[in-house]
Structure 1
């Protein structure tokens, strides 16, 4: 049983709709000496890769920042026919082409490959990152050199940002594809990013639909019941892939059996009417909990965090509150809320502290201007945890 493929934008590559994401099966988050790799852990990683290939999932995605992931992949990928593989790695924004190329050589030495199919600039999360990458002697000049040498086929970028950054980055025309966050609980805020990529005929790679899509591997009972006969992870996969603009979903497997739930969904239920029926149940549940007007218009007129009082990330906090109140995503909301202000540009803006001391005249374009300060205070009370949160890669 092979998973379906989709044309990955202007690359013309037939891309499997599921990608083997490389940030769950590696051994930790720090670079390691090869002698320190646990043989059983390496055996598990290799079993994940071979199971993926059996299923037609030949896109293997990793990053320089994923600890020993590249190195551990370098122990198995060279043993596989290179023509069977689509390999992607990612390198963070660097100030110069020389610095970028130095890191690229580290990645290639780890992967033990002569080229990668996809190379992403990792973490274009701020407007200034675009300028840094595009300047003369910057990251993009390095990638163009590598493309001429045949060591990189296609150039893309990954991002945790919203439309203010991602839409202009797509519109530069410099990139063949983008790794971004978009799924049901990000639809109202991030769909313009997908549209911008589609206008440029870019491949669209959806990051972490299981975890960042709501920690759906441990869903609340309410959401699980709404998604029957599918699981929440399956429904989220199918809902996302119902839009032809989305091409592949990153599945961070930790063991070979983790593929089963997703593969069953995309091989047997793509286009199934049940996906739309479940969506309507979920939307009704949200409207019953919060009102149809809130669900239609809550994002309207909200300031981007740099222009919000105290740089409070109003959009993100209201998003977390909405899906906690409507679907019971409390643990997810806590996890994401406590990253605010603790993960640099990967999760920017601040928590909703000292709300009463702020001037909220910036909300004048919102139909809920009078309610939002109270909701922000409630969200802080519900979600704040008395310890510093860290991104997974910083844990």
Structure 2
């Protein structure tokens, strides 16, 4: 059967298995993240302590992601993922059992965030490098877009699932749900039929870990298109929307409960998912221009969300903001995957992960700190102003011409 251009990655059995496991795993992860944010804020009533969970996750991500990328290019990626996913399953199960027994303390959630961040520093670069190797180059944009659809679909359903689980099943259920969803990725990895991993040459094995870590950074630094795309990603991660700010506004401004928070986060993911579904049928050529246009729209919508006092309007704004963010994310990842050679894929994707996953938890800390000083709406407005300035500066840069620009 001939598939449309945007679905050509689905011809590959291994990729379909990966996609199913990725979606289910993301579903549980978002349910757990929503629960962690609500539980921390409920137990501490402090925006700063809520934001500190982001710092707990960011520190190991920033410190270990480049190492994780170097490791992903040196060891079998499936074996690495089997190890990291199993460890994360045990972590979520342990916290769920503690909550079930009524022994959950708020600082346990910092430990969970730190340990999850450390494991993600190895897991995410390996995932990013692995799925790109499951399809031919002609299906790369299809693979990137469908992977993003799977992630955002999990982000669409997961927060509402987490909110409902928290409201009706108590503190324990979201963590137990997340532990169960890791099984899907483990089963998918076990079912894949992969060729033997190529043996590394002697020079590669002799090269130090430091050289492996810096290889990805060096590639990105020499590529002006990637520098602009990832520079904007860092700024948006530090100053854009995040679970901390949305939680604060949901409870303190809109006056809704955990179910309402789940719906707000699901609206955000629904918008991103819609944009990604549209992009399945669209062949993007001028990647950086799409990123800058999406960034401009994102800035305006973020400022509007900061000023909205109504639940319905906030849901609509987050839906459209999610669409802009989704287009931004798919285009960025497509650009990176198309530009990088396979032997550097793990290391370069670790830089992408560092820019996205490393900056976002720090953004939660920054958002919680500023919100504690001036309130949630003012903190969001401040972030919109910083992102707008960065996008405006990037529009003024002279970038090399070509299809990717």
Same fold (TM over 0.5): no
TM-score (norm 2): 0.27
Comparing both structures, which one devotes a greater share of its residues to helix?
Answer: 2
Which structure dedicates a bigger proportion of its chain to strand? 1
Question: RCO higher in 1 or 2 (8 Å CA, sep ≥ 6)?
Answer: 2
